[in-house]
């Protein structure tokens, strides 16, 4: 074990984490020898000679923080909340330390959220308090579905595997990977599962919606800025029979009243990646990453975390 003192700097936590998350995280992390956990920059300044591990969230002002940390010896940056839109590509490219993200933490939750929305769109189960002899069940048939999955990343792959195993017809749209040929006349459901970059920003725009039928289900648990919100609103106004499930928005927090005109719209507040034991999973990810970084040789660490190193996600000058 490395005998040097390491400072774990945690400037903020996500809103969905429990109120005493910092205390729980501190207790676990400080079980690692020669490690001190802190949350205030002023405290960090008093230990400027130590090596630093930074843990950030999707709300961390990375640009401003990285400027303040220039004088510090940063050895590792952990971004366990998976979404890394707030990490500027220039920061990732110039970093002389590994940046480890937590793709797997959020992937299963977002995939399952999407499946739940898809099943809900088929029609609710008519539960009763007593026997109902008519045996009526008004739900759509999956046999008639043609699902457009947007994004073939780690979440999109889970969704397409589910659709294939369920023998459901689907199409795939991913401009970055060259998947652009779509028969829009067949599409009944759109599920947005892409990451946000310059190839996906406003991918669902006025031109996109003009190609859709007027009774399509749209599910977006990925990133709000992938959808041009004004174009979506215009589509919904002309498509009263459509259904929409939105968990993310162009501007957050979002004023939900803008969607109140539509009868079949279901809104949640950026919760697709949240689940019962997410705090525990995040801490386990942090502990494993920190311990491996201290104990493994550099090449072995990079090999083990190859798919989680953010610099490896820059492909053709795009952070995907």
Taking residue 302's Cβ as centre, other Cβ atoms within 10 Å add up to: 14
- Alpha-helix runs per DSSP H in the chain: 21-29, 41-45, 62-68, 89-94, 103-122, 154-165, 206-211, 229-237, 278-295, 298-304
Cα 77 from Cα 88, distance rounded (Å): 14
At 1, the pLDDT band (50, 70, 90 cuts) reads: very low
Under 8 Å between Cβ of 200 and 194: yes
Region 1-12: mean pLDDT is 82
Indicate whether 2 pLDDT > 50: no
Backbone torsions φ then ψ of 134, nearest 5 degrees: -75, -20
Domains of the chain with CATH codes:
6-104+276-319 (3.40.50.720), 106-267 (3.40.50.720)
Cα 104 from Cα 155, distance rounded (Å): 9
Distances from the Cα of 51 to the Cα of 69, 223, 238, 291, angstroms: 12, 34, 57, 14
pTM (2 d.p.): 0.90
Under 8 Å between Cβ of 91 and 71: no
Tell me whether the omega of the peptide bond preceding residue 253 falls within 30 degrees of 0, making it cis: yes
Task: For 276-316, write each residue's pLDDT tens digit.
Answer: 999 999 999 999 999 999 999 999 999 999 999 999 999 98
Region 141-163: mean pLDDT is 94
Indicate whether 4 pLDDT > 90: no
Looking at residue 86, its pLDDT comes to 85
Region 33-49: mean pLDDT is 90
- The more confidently predicted of residues 198 and 99 is 99
SS3 state of residue 306: coil
Looking at residue 3, its pLDDT comes to 62
């Amino acid at each position: 074990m490395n005998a040097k003192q390491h400072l774990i700097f945690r400037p903020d936590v996500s809103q969905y984490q429990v109120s005493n998350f910092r205390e729980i995280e501190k207790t676990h992390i400080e079980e690692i020898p020669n490690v001190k956990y802190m949350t205030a920059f002023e405290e960090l300044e008093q230990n400027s000679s130590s090596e630093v591990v930074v843990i950030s969230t999707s709300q961390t002002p990375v640009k401003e923080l990285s400027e303040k940390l220039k004088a510090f010896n940063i050895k590792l940056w952990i971004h366990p909340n998976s979404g890394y839109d707030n990490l500027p590509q220039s920061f990732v490219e110039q970093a002389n330390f590994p940046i480890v993200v937590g793709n797997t933490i959020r992937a299963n939750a977002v995939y399952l959220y999407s499946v739940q929305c898809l099943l809900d769109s088929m029609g609710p189960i008519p539960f009763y308090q007593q026997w109902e002899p008519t045996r009526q069940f008004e739900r759509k048939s999956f046999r008639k579905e043609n699902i457009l999955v947007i994004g073939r990343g780690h979440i999109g792959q889970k969704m397409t595997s589910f659709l294939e195993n369920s023998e459901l017809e689907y199409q795939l749209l991913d401009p970055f990977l060259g998947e652009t040929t779509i028969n829009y006349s067949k599409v009944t459901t759109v599920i947005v599962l892409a990451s946000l970059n310059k190839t996906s920003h406003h991918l669902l725009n006025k031109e996109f919606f003009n190609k859709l039928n007027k009774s399509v289900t749209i599910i977006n648990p990925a990133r709000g800025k992938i959808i041009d919100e004004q174009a979506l609103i215009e589509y919904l106004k002309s498509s009263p029979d459509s259904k929409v499930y939105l968990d993310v928005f162009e501007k957050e927090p979002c004023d939900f009243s803008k969607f109140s005109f539509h009868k079949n719209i279901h809104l949640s507040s950026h919760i697709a990646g949240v689940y019962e034991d997410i705090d525990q999973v995040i801490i386990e990810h942090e502990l494993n990453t920190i311990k491996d970084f201290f104990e493994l040789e550099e090449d072995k660490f990079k090999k083990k975390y190859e798919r989680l190193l953010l610099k490896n996600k820059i492909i053709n000058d795009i952070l995907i």
